[in-house]
Structure 1
């Protein structure tokens, strides 16, 4: 019996001197320039913020620490503002606001959901919620920082300013979560 071999799509191989480069075929609708990549990344974070706006109330409901509940409540409000700012970015680009599923955010939210399901209510779960929330914040900080840098070189000043405003809010939220964990929540989890 013969084994079937999997065939792959052809690639272009180019050899120049000692270097060999392989060029794989581009996907349909692949970004052709930085503006395409910028717009695609805006769609990605737009989806991410909308998904986060649905996940945050569940995190708040599962948190037991009053200060953590309050921090999440504030971030729910900020996240709604982030969605509006992204819509303003699309508008400034003359584009309709569109969301494209963000696999990274989906994974982070799934992990947060698992943490809440796999911990008892109380300080340990609160520590897990902080950890999950900070992973989300770090992803958002990286994304908004990159998008602001793209907007700068693309001379999209309105978008850049909107993105930088959101970036600062994400950094502030991360700092608050760190403070809550360091001054209260993690210590209580040790004693649980």
Structure 2
């Protein structure tokens, strides 16, 4: 009788393990189906397209900041543009990490909005006097237009990431958003400390 009981327990244990394994397989299959469904959704496709858009924008901003740094008059603004350029390079790396988390290849999508904002900044350099505070005041406004575009983009993308359950992606986007907001505040501080006032005194 003892032998029969052992066999019965062994059989029961095997059935229990098989059931658990089956449930685990089902859960994995359901997760895969849900992930595939999410990736094919219109919202996810838009999200990915917007990431490619800002990825292009960040690369373009790195080049634009170098020109703005060279054109700036004051050392304070030159340093601010240099710091922002280094920060933007980090943002590019962060976006590449986001693409990896989403199991996507980093890819640029031409961003007409940032191209227009950068072109406006180039026009400012051409239309203002070299070495003037007026040029610095105008460059700050141009740089802040870039910042506001980035703030709007990263803020919106962070919320979409939260909605879709991409928590790690959302954390990275929110970190970049905070840095963009800090840069915008810093530019305002530089302008209001002395540049705007000195520009107003120029003939």
TM value normalised by structure 2: 0.78
CA separation in 2, counterparts of 1:73 and 1:114?
A: 20
Match in the other structure for 2:147: 137
2:69 matched to 1:57? Answer: no
Larger radius of gyration: 2
Give secondary structure in 1 for the equivalent of 2:104.
Answer: coil
Structure 1 or 2: more helix by fraction: 2
CA separation in 2, counterparts of 1:67 and 1:161?
A: 31
Match in the other structure for 1:153: 163
CA separation in 2, counterparts of 1:187 and 1:159?
A: 42
Spell out, residue by residue over 1:48-86, the C-alpha distance to the aligned partner (whole angstroms, 9 max, x if none).
Answer: 000001110100000011111111111011000000000
CA separation in 2, counterparts of 1:93 and 1:179?
A: 37
2:104 matched to 1:95? Answer: yes
CA separation in 1, counterparts of 2:103 and 2:49?
A: 14
Give secondary structure in 2 for the equivalent of 1:94.
Answer: coil
Matches within 5 A, 1:1-192: 33-121=42-130, 122-192=132-202
Superposed CA RMSD:
1.0
CA separation in 2, counterparts of 1:170 and 1:88?
A: 18
- Aligned pairs, how many? 162
Match in the other structure for 1:7: none
Q: Which runs of 5+ in 1 are unaligned?
A: 1-30
CA separation in 1, counterparts of 2:169 and 2:55?
A: 13
Q: After TM superposition, give the deviation of residue 184 of structure 1 in Å.
A: 0.9
CA separation in 2, counterparts of 1:188 and 1:32?
A: 53
